[in-house]
């Protein structure tokens, strides 16, 4: 525990990240580990074993170790992982050491909820601008931010160095909004509208579609129902196993 070397992360000379190539599946799980670590840290834990952290994150412990090994060796055999150090490492890899500016387009039902969500701020993001096309909404004040007209997007995006945009408009407007975001220099988009977006290759899009989530659950309900007719009525209701469903 003597030297608390961070590998080559902060304080490095060249400070070149140059992640080899973290598996996509791994980076999708890092945020979950991070959340679990924060919980554990608040609980007063100094170190945590892979088994413990895996349980807190709802994954297999071997998978967790392999994931973390991709970042480097930040654990101590026989002891576990230093919680604070690991938090720092994951936050660095995810680029959360700097608070990232986010803009939100479409301040309707969903947009209102998102604008008022404090879970963003506590996890590395700051909503710095709200946009809408409806003149009736422009000027409205939400959680300390004034809704601006979508035409101002480009100007504000540059001014505030916004790299991430959230789309919460109806599906019909989403592609047009995406185009405007891209034109304004945004290179990452989180899309809540149920539609496919076309964007240049250097722009990342992630989509959240609640109806799809429900439909997947519906399928499993359908399947489960079709098996109810089986003998051996008692279902395999185990102890309290986490039912992990693909990312």
Ligand X SMILES: NC(=O)c1ccc[n+]([C@@H]2O[C@H](COP(=O)([O-])OP(=O)(O)OC[C@H]3O[C@@H](n4cnc5c(N)ncnc54)[C@H](O)[C@@H]3O)[C@@H](O)[C@H]2O)c1
Partner DNA sequence: AGGCGCTTGTGAAGGCGTGCACAAATCGCG
Partner DNA sequence: CGCGATTTGTGCACGCCTTCACAAGCGCCT
Site for ligand X in 193-232 (CB under 6 A): 193-194, 210
Per partner kind, with CB cut-offs from 5 to 8 A, the member of DNA, ligand X, a second copy, none near residue 68 is DNA
Q: Rounded to the nearest 5 degrees, what angle is found at the Cα of 235, between the Cα atoms of 229 and 238?
A: 165
* 176 closest CA partner among 229, 106, 116, 115: 106
Q: What are 149's strand-pairing partners?
A: 132
Q: Does 32 bind a second copy (CB under 8 A)?
A: yes
Write down the least CB distance from residue 11 to ligand X, Å.
Answer: 34
Q: Any idea which residue has 């500016």 for tokens? A: 101
Determine, following the binding rule CB under 8 A, whether residue 93 of this chain makes contact with a second copy: yes
Please report, as ranges, the residues that interact with DNA according to CB under 7 A.
1, 23-26, 48-51, 59-63, 65-66, 68-69, 73-81
Q: Give the C-alpha separation, 145 to 129, whole Å.
A: 7
Q: What is the total count of residues that contact ligand X (CB under 6 A)?
A: 28
Which partner from the list a second copy, ligand X, DNA, none does 40 bind, CB cut-off 5 to 8 Å by kind?
none
**Any contact of residue 150 with ligand X (CB under 6 A)?**
yes
Query: In a 3-state reduction of DSSP, which class is residue 89?
Result: helix
Please give the DSSP secondary-structure letter assigned to residue 99. P
| 75 Rama sector, left if φ>0, alpha if ψ -120 to 50, beta otherwise | beta
Structure tokens at 192: 């809540």
Restricting to residues 151-180, which ones interact with a second copy according to CB under 8 A? Answer: 163-164
**Cα–Cα distance, 61 to 151 (Å, whole number):** 49
Nearer of residues 73 and 122 to DNA, judged by Cβ: 73
Burial of 183 from C-beta contacts in 10 A (0-12 / 13-18 / 19+): exposed
Binders of a second copy in range 209-238 (CB under 8 A)? 209-226, 235-238
Verify binding: residue 113, ligand X, rule CB under 6 A: yes
Does residue 156 interact with ligand X by CB under 6 A? Answer: no
Q: How far is the CB of 179 from DNA (least distance, A)?
A: 25
As measured in angstroms, the least distance from the Cβ of 208 to ligand X is 8
What's the full length of the chain, in residues?
247
Q: Is 69 one of the binding residues for a second copy (CB under 8 A)?
A: no
- What residues make contact with ligand X under the rule CB under 6 A? 105-111, 113-114, 117, 119, 131-134, 137, 150, 168-171, 173, 176-177, 192-194, 210
């Amino acid at each position: 525990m003597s030297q608390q070397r961070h590998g080559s992360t902060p304080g490095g000379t060249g400070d070149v990240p140059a992640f080899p190539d973290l598996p996509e599946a791994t980076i999708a799980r890092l945020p979950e580990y991070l959340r679990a670590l924060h919980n554990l840290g608040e609980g007063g834990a100094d170190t945590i074993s892979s088994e413990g952290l895996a349980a807190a994150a709802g994954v297999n412990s071997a998978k967790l170790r392999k994931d973390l090994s991709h970042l480097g060796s930040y654990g101590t055999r026989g002891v576990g992982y230093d919680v604070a150090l690991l938090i720092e490492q994951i936050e660095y890899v995810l680029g959360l050491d700097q608070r990232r500016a986010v803009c939100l387009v479409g301040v309707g039902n969903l947009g209102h909820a998102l604008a008022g969500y404090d879970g963003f701020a506590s996890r590395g993001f700051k909503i710095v601008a709200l946009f809408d096309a409806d003149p009736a909404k422009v000027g409205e004040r939400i959680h300390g931010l004034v809704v601006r007209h979508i035409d101002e997007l480009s100007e504000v995006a540059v001014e505030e160095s916004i790299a991430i945009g959230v789309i919460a408009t109806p599906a019909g407007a989403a592609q047009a909004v995406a185009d405007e975001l891209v034109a304004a220099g945004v290179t990452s988009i989180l899309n809540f509208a149920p539609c496919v977006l076309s964007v240049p290759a250097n722009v990342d899009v992630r989509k959240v579609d609640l109806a799809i989530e429900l439909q997947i659950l519906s399928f499993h309900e359908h399947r489960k129902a079709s098996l109810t007719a089986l003998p051996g009525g008692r279902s395999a209701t185990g102890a309290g196993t986490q039912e992990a469903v693909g990312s």
